[in-house]
Structure 1
Amino acid sequence: MEALYIDKHYNLVVECKQGSKKACYELYRLYSKAMLNVAFRIVGNIAEAEDILQESFLHAFNKMSDFRQETTFGLWLKQIVVSRSINLLRKRKMAWAEVEDVELENIADEEIEDDSEQQYKVAQIKEAMKELPEGYRVVISLYLLEGYDHEEIGQILNISENTSRTQFLRAKRKLSEILSRKGITS
């Protein structure tokens, strides 16, 4: 017998499975903002992200009987949002460049003492990420913001792990150029 993963919203999920519209609304209220952010970071357009959010919740609620609580509802929903976001990008006919092996650079961890300064820099970086080409933005968002590794990104985007690493490195360089051009030091 498979072990079920019990999360803090287990009762809402059970009620939603039983057809409770109130429970479905509560799950929507709890997760919609975070899932909108996930979609927006991937597609880079708020209107498209809102559409993805609605489609993802509709899909999740229609397939609620398939959800077996082997993970949290939030993680299951996030996978749906990421998948639908990637599908939208594929519809845009995003081109990926296969490239040869590139040596990975080490990213130095720098301690920032002032939390408000760190939050300001993070906001500036997120803003600068919007200027990246779509392929770069998707890979760097999935890696840095969503926590996927290059193997997972490769599977999600149907590209090689090496292409994911290369796109990430190129995105990092391009982001650094954008930040330098704006006079922002990392």
Structure 2
Amino acid sequence: MNDELQDKIAGLVERARRGELAAFAELVRRFQNMACGYAYAVLGDFHLAQDAAQEAFVEAYRRLEQLREPARFAGWLRRIVLSSSHRFIRGKSVSTVGLEAAEVVASGELGPSKAAEGKELGERVLAAVRALPESQRTAVTLFYINGYSQKEIADFLEVPVTTVNNRLHAARVQLKERMMTMVEKTIKDN
């Protein structure tokens, strides 16, 4: 993160500490998608990720006074999102299915067999992403799903850009291998 942006974030944190809700709302606006993307990488469920990110922002607001270096808000928030996500993992007792899948089937846009095929393919792809190590899964989620640049991801994760690039490359290699295995298996089965 460049110095100017860090100064702006530090200023927003200081204003939020003084009780300016608009300043904290701006912090939420700036980091909401990143927090949701990171929670999704950990949880693998969009709805739980949104809940975990929301819980993390509430906790961050309550603990704002504990942040020693306001310019390091992004990394501090990331750790809170991770803790919040882990609480959801521990508390999760039932498997959930996103409403998007039900809406497509209910709308009749696809026939039942096409909907089932699409759902199965989507589940396979998500399973392949979930099987990645957490560091790679996080990079893939933030880059491909949330559309953040390598630099933005590096700033949020507090790692060098080359580390993000290496994680993305390693993830692509693993995903390609897994997807090729799935394709080969599907061809052999049919």
Normalised to the residue count of structure 1, the TM-score between the two structures is: 0.54
What is the Cα-based RMSD across aligned positions, in Å?
Answer: 3.8
Aligned to 2:50: 50
Residues 84 and 72 of structure 1, relative CA distance in 2, 3 Å threshold: same
2:50 is matched by which residue type in structure 1?
E
Task: State whether structure 2 residue 30 is matched by structure 1 residue 30.
Answer: yes
Aligned to 1:61: 61
Extract structure 1 runs of 4+ deviating beyond 4 A.
133-137, 142-148, 172-175
Residues 14 and 139 of structure 1, relative CA distance in 2, 3 Å threshold: closer
Tell me, in whole angstroms, the C-alpha distance in 1 between the residues paired with 2:176 and 2:88: 23
Gaps of 5+ in 2: 1-5, 94-122, 143-152, 158-169, 185-190
- SS for the counterpart of 1:181 is helix
Tell me, in whole angstroms, the C-alpha distance in 1 between the residues paired with 2:46 and 2:27: 21
- SS for the counterpart of 1:130 is helix
* Deviation digits for residues 27-72 of structure 1 (CA, Å, limit 9, x no counterpart): 1111101111111111111110010111000000011111111751
* Deviation digits for residues 59-99 of structure 1 (CA, Å, limit 9, x no counterpart): 00011111111751111101111222133223448xxxxxx
Aligned to 1:132: 128
Tell me, in whole angstroms, the C-alpha distance in 2 between the residues paired with 1:81 and 1:179: 33
Tell me, in whole angstroms, the C-alpha distance in 1 between the residues paired with 2:7 and 2:125: 33
Counting aligned pairs with the same residue, the percent is 23
- SS for the counterpart of 1:32 is helix
Structure having greater relative contact order (Cα 8 Å, sep ≥ 6): 2
* Deviation digits for residues 81-124 of structure 1 (CA, Å, limit 9, x no counterpart): 1222133223448xxxxxxxxxxxxxxxxxxxxxxxxxxxxxxx
Q: Report the alpha carbon displacement of residue 136 of structure 1 after superposing the two structures with TM.
A: 4.4
Normalised to the residue count of structure 2, the TM-score between the two structures is: 0.53
- SS for the counterpart of 2:128 is coil
- SS for the counterpart of 1:19 is coil
Aligned to 1:181: 182
2:78 is matched by which residue type in structure 1?
K
Residues 128 and 16 of structure 1, relative CA distance in 2, 3 Å threshold: farther
Tell me, in whole angstroms, the C-alpha distance in 2 between the residues paired with 1:59 and 1:70: 16
Tell me, in whole angstroms, the C-alpha distance in 1 between the residues paired with 2:177 and 2:124: 9
Tell me, in whole angstroms, the C-alpha distance in 2 between the residues paired with 1:91 and 1:54: 16
Residues 91 and 179 of structure 1, relative CA distance in 2, 3 Å threshold: farther
Q: Does structure 2 retain, via aligned residues, the 8 Å contact 1:42–1:137?
A: no
- SS for the counterpart of 1:68 is coil
